[in-house]
A and B are shown apart, each in its own frame.
Chain A
């Protein structure tokens, strides 16, 4: 177990190193930000002075080494637009994205458990076919369009939901539903096949043959076991949710990391992009590790090596 953890942490460091190198490379391919930061009529001397002050005139490997050592101390430099530490600018947006992402994830699980179990138990019936069709449709909807449709129907026509920004819990409804759609469809499919697999197990036949009521068999014997692989899938959804947040936050003007990143990319705010990408990648990997550990705790048959 210890050696497993150590190996995972070592991989973790390697991947983060790769992520930081790629981020650094990409943001440095776009040309010098010094020219972008100054007014268009700035003279050559001014551009050069700023380039020197930001250290952009040094060789790339020197810049990367400085970037890396500073990043390890949590220092990504100041935001080129706001003049404040980049990590602080990104950090302020974490609660909004966490609230939106976790609500969407919870919503997708709350929908998936009853629907996934029901369609598995009623496999092959009209209910199953109908639900499967709806799920397939859900996986095919572009999230930006779904978001706009929700704004159009509930915000503009029915006037029951606010159309943008963050404030009361009502502001959360539209973006959370939009963001949960894709993971919900996926979760339903996953849980359905997991429940079907469990239904064929010997212990289910035993439970039935000792005369337990069907709902007890489903709830206590089937569902509990079927949920174990499901945990892993839900953990992996974090990646989708973080990616989807970029689009959903942009549509609903939700002040989270996703929207910040789109703005930072458009404004070439390199330190903010770098801090954001590294933070998102690290979050994703921590969640993956926790998911794997949780899986081992829930299912003692799995030995982590």
Chain B
């Protein structure tokens, strides 16, 4: 490796990082998106929701009629697209992180209980999972959001509810395998309580598989948030979000390609980066999970 003497061993995650060169740009992009979401008020050149109607549908800086003060152009209400993209990162990050955490909390709890206890509880939880998997997710989300009303926290709730199944199934599978191992049996013999065995022994051993599941769940949540906002069921239109921007630009597709193109690219690149980083994490942790586990 890069000028290293033969007896230096880089840690595994670092060696994998050098071998898979897509990971560095992907990580960099995620850091940029994260910084955009945190520092939006300082980074955005214009207000995200106040436009000048006289400057509506300005093209990006590099095409004829564009100006550098609105680098990516403006939308139908004369709002600066770059500023809205920067603010929109907040929604994607917030929904992605909060939704994944919620799904993980619910799924891991259900999976631990189902796998460790077994019996009727296992049957019940897995049948509930089957019922949920028989619904196309988007339909369930639409129906729930119509009941609950559109809004960012309702969206987090719905996305969390929709993704717990994967966490539950993976956790349960791992627990079933771990339960039979000698060290768990030994703890039983020593008189440890079930709750202690679950929290202190089983859970840490499931973590690496869960990190992989979480990274792919995060990617799916960003996509789902965009799709639901696009259908008008996600965040309210007053909050700039990438999916909402594509939706608003839809009517102007014929004469203003830039309005829908940039937010769509932002979604695609963010999700792509999360997927690349997820693949890398899986590689490093060497769990035998696929994206579909």
Residues of A at under 8 Å CB distance from B? Answer: 11, 14-16, 18-19, 22-23, 26-27, 29-30, 133, 136-137, 139-145, 148-149, 151-152, 156, 186, 189-190, 193, 233, 239, 242-244, 246-247, 250, 261-262, 265-266, 268, 273, 277, 280-281, 284-285
Partner of B146, one of A14, A189, A265: A265
Report the interface size for chain B: residues with CB under 8 A from the other chain.
43
Q: B142 contacts which of A29, A140, A144, A265 (Cβ < 8 Å)?
A: A265
Query: How many whole Å from A16's CB to the nearest CB in chain B?
Result: 8
Chain B interface SS verdict (over half): helix
The 8 Å CB contact of A148, one of B143, B231, B260, is B260
Kindly identify which residue among B134, B254, B276 contacts A136, using a CB–CB cutoff of 8 Å: B276
B residues near A26, Cβ cutoff 8 Å: 143-144, 147
Chain B residues whose C-beta falls within 8 Å of the C-beta of A152 in the assembled complex: 253, 257, 260-261
Instruction: Contact check, B143 vs A265: say whether CB atoms are below 8 A apart.
Output: yes
With contacts A193-B290, A247-B138 known, is A18 near B268, CB below 8 A?
no
Selected from B219, B254, B260, the residue in CB contact (under 8 A) with A145 is: B260
Chain A CB within 10 Å — which of B130, B226, B275, B292 has the most? B130
Judge if B24 is at the interface, Cβ distance under 8 Å. no
A261–B134 alpha-carbon span in the complex (Å): 16
Query: A133–B22 contact, CB under 8 A?
Result: yes
Point out the residue from B138, B257, B264 that lies within 8 Å of A246, measured CB to CB.
Answer: B138
Known pairs A11-B127, A280-B139; list 14 more (Cβ under 8 Å).
A23-B143, A30-B147, A140-B219, A140-B223, A140-B275, A141-B271, A142-B246, A144-B230, A145-B264, A186-B291, A243-B137, A265-B142, A280-B136, A284-B136
How many contacting A-B pairs (Cβ < 8 A)? 123
**Is the CB of B203 closer than 8 A to any CB of chain A?**
no
A22 / chain B contacts, CB cutoff of 8 Å = 131, 135
Name B114-132 residues within 8 Å CB distance of A.
Answer: 127-128, 130-131
User: Is A277 in contact with B139, judged by CB distance below 8 angstroms?
Assistant: yes
Contacts of B160 in A (CB 8 A): none
